[in-house]
């Protein structure tokens, strides 16, 4: 469960500890995303080297491939992928709702066609709980309906009502006491709907709360407004998770508003496309200015990649289409994000969050 360790004096930023069946997580934390039960290009050992305390996998993708029977015979998802630390599984709701031509939704659940073989499946809140109970992750998420931006208020209302009803059914169906079932707050960019959704889900008393339906195309100011409005209503003794936020500046803004947990595919997606994050901002390492640049990706970084290889070499790997390029860039980006939240935790405990924010963004945005 969650323990609040320190509240920063000048902001809503907070330092905490989340205890799970596979260990403790320091918050704020960043969760690398392993959609198909693997973080692309980064092994579990390397995740551990980077300081990852928790990773995320996706119930939708693992359900389709390799399938629940394989996971069950392996002894659960932790054993299947050889990851001994905490894990969170998303319900797959976002993935299903990202397939508008392949799914039908009603109050009972969602019928969808597999993007792999076209086979039809039907997810209900109960079947999603059964799937995740089988996977055995430490933190699990209920089926929800994510309304994309922009949407009408009527559509957002229907999606919110379904999300609340499905959360209620999920909690009733959840059978494992060693798993923490978080609720997901929806309501699109309509603050009155967000408040109503939060209130009703708080009445159900979940062990943690996630803000869903953000970073789906809306401008950053609307994301921050939603996070601030919902965060003000959430209890201090429960973890707060914003789903899918991934840019460094967005993480900092959300931590300032009291958020504890983040996940995003950005570190590995950008990495395998040749973009790396540094303390001075993003750089596209495959570009010509780095042909004879023998400095590290980030001189301020102490990760294995920055201590070992030069920009020139990594640029060469990308242009030679060597798979090591994707691996090294992804490793560095994962380390960068985990080190960012590590620095945020230190700034919080020292009550110098705003000073750190100004210093970091001053360098990063130049």
pLDDT value at position 366? 65
- Final residue of a structural domain among 264, 283, 304: 264
| In the predicted structure, residue 102 carries a pLDDT above the cut 80 | no
Same domain membership, residue 279 and residue 258: no
What's residue 320's pLDDT?
Answer: 98
| Gyration radius (Cα) of the chain, Å | 20
Beta-strand ranges (E) seen in the chain are 2-7, 14-20, 23-27, 29-34, 55-58, 87-90, 103-105, 110-113, 120-123, 139-140, 180-181, 183-185, 209-211, 240-242, 261-264, 275-278, 281-284
Q: Based on the domain organization, do 201 and 270 belong to the same domain?
A: no
Number of domains in the chain: 2
What average pLDDT does range 129-139 have in this prediction?
Answer: 97
Q: pTM of the full predicted structure? A: 0.97
Q: How far apart are CA 300 and CA 176, in angstroms?
A: 44
Mean pLDDT over residues 116-128, rounded? Answer: 93
Question: 295: pLDDT confidence band, cut at 50, 70 and 90?
Answer: very high
Residue range 185-199: mean pLDDT, rounded: 97
**Which residues are part of the catalytic machinery?**
90, 263
- Exposure pattern of 146-173 as b/e (b: 16+ CB <10 Å)? bbbbebeeeebbbbbbbbbebbbbbbeb
Name the domain boundary from 245, 264, 283. Answer: 264
Residue 101: the pLDDT is: 64
Provide the pLDDT for residue 115: 83
Compute the distance between CA of residue 218 and CA of residue 187 in angstroms, rounded to an integer.
13
Give the pLDDT mean for 219-230: 96
pLDDT of residue 114: 85
Report in angstroms the alpha-carbon separations of 121 from 98, 104, 124, 127, 141.
Answer: 15, 11, 10, 11, 19
Q: Which of 222, 242, 264 is the last residue of a domain?
A: 264
Residue 222 sits in the same domain as residue 365: no
Is residue 279 within 8 A of residue 332, CB to CB? The reply is no
Average pLDDT, the chain: 96
Alpha-carbon distance 313 to 293, whole Å?
A: 9
Give me the mean pLDDT over the 313-318 stretch: 98
Q: What is the CATH number of the domain that holds 71?
A: 3.20.20.105
Asked if residue 229 has pLDDT above 90, the reply is: yes
State the pLDDT at residue 268: 98
The answer to whether the bond into 66 is cis (omega within 30° of 0) is yes
Task: Tell me what pLDDT residue 104 has.
Answer: 87
Report pLDDT digits (tens) over 164-174: 999 999 999 99
What is the band of 136 on the pLDDT scale with cuts at 50, 70, 90?
A: very high
pLDDT for residue 92: 78
User: In this structure, are 253 and 294 located in the same domain?
Assistant: no
Q: Tell me, yes or no, whether 226 and 273 share the same domain.
A: no
* pLDDT at residue 93, as a whole number: 75
**All residues at 6 or more sequence positions from 242 whose CB lies less than 8 Å from its CB, including other chains:** 210, 211, 214, 227, 254, 259, 261, 262
Residue 139's pLDDT is what?
Answer: 98
**Averaged over 320-327, what is the pLDDT?**
98
C-alpha 117: how far from its chain's center? 27
Query: Is residue 254 domain-shared with residue 270, that is, in the same domain?
Result: no
Amino acid 349: pLDDT: 98
Joined tokens for residue 258? 């009291």
Residue 24: which region, alpha, beta or left (left: phi > 0; alpha: psi -120 to 50)?
A: beta
Is the confidence at residue 117, as pLDDT, over 70? yes
> Residues 123-152: what's their mean pLDDT?
95
pLDDT value at 234 more than 80: yes
199 and 124 part of one domain:
yes
Residue 166 sits in the same domain as residue 310? no
149 and 219 share one domain: yes
- Considering the domain architecture, whether residues 258 and 276 belong to the same structural domain is answered as no
Per-residue pLDDT of 340-350, as tens digits, reads 999 999 999 99
- Do 350 and 258 lie in a common domain? no
Look up the domain containing 364 and give its range: 266-366
Same structural domain, 55 and 200: yes
β-bridge pairing 23-27 and 240-242: unpaired
- pLDDT tens for 261-273 read 999 999 999 999 9
| Percentage of the chain lying above the pLDDT 70 cut | 98
The set of residues, in sequence order, having a beta carbon less than 8 Å from that of 250 and lying 6+ positions away, is 215, 220, 223
Q: Distance of alpha carbon 149 from its chain centroid, rounded?
A: 19
């Amino acid at each position: 469960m969650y323990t609040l360790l320190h509240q920063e004096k000048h902001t809503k930023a907070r330092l905490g500890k989340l205890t799970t069946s596979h260990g403790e997580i320091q918050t704020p934390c960043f969760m690398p995303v392993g959609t198909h039960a693997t973080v692309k290009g980064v092994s579990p050992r390397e995740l551990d080297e980077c300081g990852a305390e928790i990773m995320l996998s996706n119930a939708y993708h693992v359900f389709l491939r390799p399938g629940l029977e394989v996971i069950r015979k392996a002894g659960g998802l932790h054993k299947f992928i050889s990851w001994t630390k905490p894990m969170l599984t998303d319900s797959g709701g976002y993935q299903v709702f990202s397939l508008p031509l392949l799914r039908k939704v009603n109050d009972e659940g969602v019928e969808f066609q597999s993007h792999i073989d076209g086979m039809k499946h039907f997810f209900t809140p109960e079947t999603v709980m059964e799937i995740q109970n089988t996977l055995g992750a430490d933190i699990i998420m209920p089926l929800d309906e994510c309304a994309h931006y922009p949407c009408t208020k009527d559509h957002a209302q229907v999606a919110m009502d379904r999300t609340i009803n499905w959360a209620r059914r999920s909690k009733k169906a959840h059978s494992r006491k060693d798993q923490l079932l978080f609720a997901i707050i929806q309501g699109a960019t309509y603050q009155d709907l967000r408040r109503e959704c939060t209130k009703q889900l708080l009445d159900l008393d979940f062990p943690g709360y996630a803000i869903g339906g953000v970073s789906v195309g809306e401008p950053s100011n609307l994301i921050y407004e939603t996070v601030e409005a919902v965060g003000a209503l959430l209890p201090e003794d429960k973890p707060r998770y914003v789903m899918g936020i991934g840019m460094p500046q967005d993480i900092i803004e959300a931590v300032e508003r009291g958020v504890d947990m983040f996940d995003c595919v950005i570190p590995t997606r950008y990495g395998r496309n040749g973009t790396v994050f540094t303390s001075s901002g993003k750089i596209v390492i495959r570009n010509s200015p780095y042909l004879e640049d023998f400095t590290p990706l980030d001189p301020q970084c102490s990760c294995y990649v920055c201590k070992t290889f030069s920009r020139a070499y990594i640029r060469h790997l990308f242009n030679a289409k060597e798979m090591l390029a994707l691996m090294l860039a992804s490793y560095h980006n994962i380390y960068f994000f985990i080190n960012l939240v590590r620095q945020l935790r230190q700034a919080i405990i020292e009550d110098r969050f705003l000073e750190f924010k100004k210093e970091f963004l001053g360098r990063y945005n130049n």
